[in-house]
Amino acid sequence: MKERYFTDERKPKKRIIEQVSIDCVIFGFYDNQLKVLLLKFKGLDAWALPGGFVFHNESIEEAANRILEDRTGIRNIYLEQFYVFGDKNRQFREVHEEVMYKNSIHPQDNHWLFQRFISIGFYALVDFSKVTPELDDISEICGWYDIEDMPLLSFDHPQIFQKALETLRSSLDTKLVGFNLLPEMFTIGELQSLYETILGKKLIRTNFQRKILSLEILERIEKKYSGGSHKAPYLYRMDVAKCEVFLKTHF
Amino acid sequence: MKERYFTDERKPKKRIIEQVSIDCVIFGFYDNQLKVLLLKFKGLDAWALPGGFVFHNESIEEAANRILEDRTGIRNIYLEQFYVFGDKNRQFREVHEEVMYKNSIHPQDNHWLFQRFISIGFYALVDFSKVTPELDDISEICGWYDIEDMPLLSFDHPQIFQKALETLRSSLDTKLVGFNLLPEMFTIGELQSLYETILGKKLIRTNFQRKILSLEILERIEKKYSGGSHKAPYLYRMDVAKCEVFLKTHF
DNA sequence: TTGGTATTGTACCAATTTGATACAATAGTC
DNA sequence: GACTATTGTATCAAATTGGTACAATACCAA
């Protein structure tokens, strides 16, 4: 059930924690490119990360999951907080006003959304092939953009995105989060391509293969992938239990 | 100037962001032990991390610094956010009530402190030798405790402390934060001892020395340390500029 | 003064890990 | 059935790390 936030009232309709928001950076991987899910506000040339607020009766993690579902239709994915954006002047009256006008709302001067907000950043990793973004009622686009070629974001969302990307990079090896961006079964080649785009550099194929397999967190599926006019690679599946053991013993 | 929070009013005296708090885990290193700074509430057997709230006219980083100074007298130290604690039921009416009673305050039933709070965790690293903790007016002890032998904390502060410690551990190598716990000049032996206590394991002396020096972030001071009945070790100083270069090129 | 003790700085070698190349195997195309 | 592109694995060199040896010293005790 989607909630309507943009009323013209001084207080939000549903009880939320005031002056606290959540913004989500949703990463996907497709066509050998790292993608991010962005929303475009109806009738405006303004882009943003999906965000929202925390209800009184939910944890911030529950809130982040709900917000994601409300605003993009995506649910049940890897989600983790990564940073709090708490600048003194973190308020965005102008953008909010524009959005509200376009939605036929004429806010009071002390509308609750005009306050200074502290935003908790979450990043999400999804299996691109399993996701079909859905529009909410204040957006006209909800779609994937190559991180190398994305529209300029409103608010302070460029910084939030940047920090999320840095966190993703440094978590690749230490938390092995990359697998969340791939389908359940994948080839080492696909995994390498994922690592290369996230890290922004080429890796030597044979060494990458040796390294990844030496972690002993992958299970080789007997069935082979087919399609290319060349030797068929093995398919692998990540073994969650082994992965946890590995992380515990190495970090 | 210290603020008085524990009035009996429904709203805090000074304008703060409601339902948001900051808790600080302050680490020090002394006598080859990792220490944490804890407060004991006046007249109660209740211990806590120094915490506080965010004013409307300050960033969360400014707030954390101010809180630290208000509650412990410590200022101008390494401080970094590490996690947000946002459980649905994160409220601590009982402890707050006890504290207020002891401070002769009889709160209304809907006192603002009884609400659910989202707390932003910061960890701080200080040069133990430069710090003299000062008492605020609701505490009767403000002192250092060995992390292996500390009192049971109130609220959810045990979890907050634990998460801070994990963050410190994993940041040792990737952010080289350890130096913030030592005086400006130190020996490699002292640095090794610091690493050993934080990581909780012994390191091989000669390899540690080689490793640290190979980072090329230390400047050897000609003057030598003296005192022990053995060969005098060199003193070193961390070169902040070189350190930044190192971190940029390696992470 | 001198020998003893504890600790430091560095050298050194073995074991392991990583970088880079070579090559056989093979699925599909022509 | 030859050709192409890619995969899996082997291999060797280079770099890093684990672990030992040893000379250098600052102080202490006779």
- From the list A53, A55, A59, A4, the residue with the least C-alpha distance to A24 is A53
Rounded Cα–Cα distance for residues A121 and A84 (Å): 6
Read off the pLDDT band of A4 (50, 70, 90): low
- pLDDT for A8: 74
Give the model confidence (pLDDT) of B93-128 as tens digits: 999 999 999 988 899 999 999 999 999 999 999 999
Query: Least CB-CB distance to A84: which of B18, B19, B120?
Result: B120
Are A120 and B83 within 8 A, CB to CB?
no
| Option in A19, A56, A63 nearest B17 (CB) | A19
Rg from Cα positions in chain A: 20
User: CB distance from A225 to chain B under 8 Å?
Assistant: no
Q: Is B159 on the interface with A (CB under 8 A)?
A: no
Chain A residues with beta carbon closer than 8 angstroms to that of B199 = none
Give, as one character, the DSSP assignment of residue B168.
Answer: H
Cβ of residue B4 near strand D, that is under 7 Å?
no
Query: Are B160 and B7 contacting, i.e. CB atoms less than 8 angstroms apart?
Result: no
Are B87 and A59 inside 8 Å of each other by CB? yes
- Which pLDDT does position B5 carry in this prediction? 63
Q: In this predicted structure, which of A2-11, A94-103, A136-145 has the lowest mean pLDDT?
A: A2-11
Say yes or no: B78 contacts chain A, CB-CB below 8 A.
no
Amino acid, single-letter form, for residue A178: G
Q: Do A118 and B58 touch (CB under 8 A)?
A: no
Cβ of A233 near strand D (distance < 7 A): yes
Provide the CA B188 distance to its chain's centre, in angstroms. Answer: 24
pLDDT digits (tens, 9 = 90+) for B221-243: 977 777 778 889 999 999 999 99
> For position A10, what pLDDT does the model report?
80
B104: region left, alpha or beta (phi > 0 left; psi from -120 to 50 alpha): left
Residue B14 tokens, joined:
């000074």
Whether A78 and chain B come into contact, CB under 8 Å, resolves to: no
Q: Which of B62, B170, B251 faces A251 most closely, judged by CB atoms?
A: B170
pLDDT of residue B4: 62
Confidence at residue A1, expressed as pLDDT on a 0 to 100 scale: 38
CB distance A224 to A232 below 8 Å: yes
- Closest-CA residue to B113 (of B97, B136, B89, B134): B97
pLDDT (tens digit per residue) in A42-99: 999 999 999 999 999 999 999 999 999 998 999 989 999 999 999 999 999 999 999 9
What's the rounded Cα separation, in Å, for the pair B5 and B99?
A: 12
Mean pLDDT of A26-51: 96
Q: Which of A81, A84, A251 sits opposite B60 (nearest CB)?
A: A84
Name the residue type at position A35.
Answer: K
B81 inside 8 A of chain A by CB: yes
- N residues, chain B: 251
- pLDDT tens, residue by residue, B118-170: 999 999 999 999 999 999 989 999 999 999 999 999 999 999 999 999 999 99
> Residue closest to D21, CA→C1'?
B206
> What percentage of chain A reaches a pLDDT higher than 70?
97
Q: What is the mean pLDDT of residues A113-130?
A: 96
Q: Do B84 and A88 touch (CB under 8 A)?
A: no
Distance B211 CA to C9 C1' (A): 14
CB A54, CB A81: distance < 8 Å: no
**Banded model confidence at residue A5, pLDDT cuts 50, 70, 90:** low
Statement: residue A6 has pLDDT above 90: no
Dump pLDDT digits (tens) for A184-232: 999 999 999 999 999 999 999 999 999 999 999 999 997 777 777 888 9
Nearest-CA residue relative to C1' of D18 = B207
Q: Which residue of A has its CA nearest to B16?
A: A19
Q: pLDDT value at position A223? A: 74
- pLDDT tens, position by position, B27-39: 999 999 999 999 9
Interchain CB distance below 8 Å, B118 and A174? no
- Entry pTM: 0.95
Determine the Cα–Cα distance for residues A96 and B52; give it in Å rounded to an integer.
30
Cα dihedral A77→A81→A85→A86 (10° resolution): 130
Mean of the per-residue pLDDT values of chain B? 93
pLDDT value at position B1? 37
pLDDT at residue B85, as a whole number: 98
Residue B183 has pLDDT above 80, yes or no: yes
Please give the mean pLDDT across all residues of chain A.
93
Stated as kind and residue range, the H or E segment containing A61 is helix A60-72
Is A199 within 8 Å of A118 (Cβ atoms)? no
**pLDDT of amino acid A114:** 95
Q: Which residues of A touch B116 (CB under 8 A)?
A: 17, 56
> What are the phi and psi torsion angles at B155 (to 5°)?
55, -145
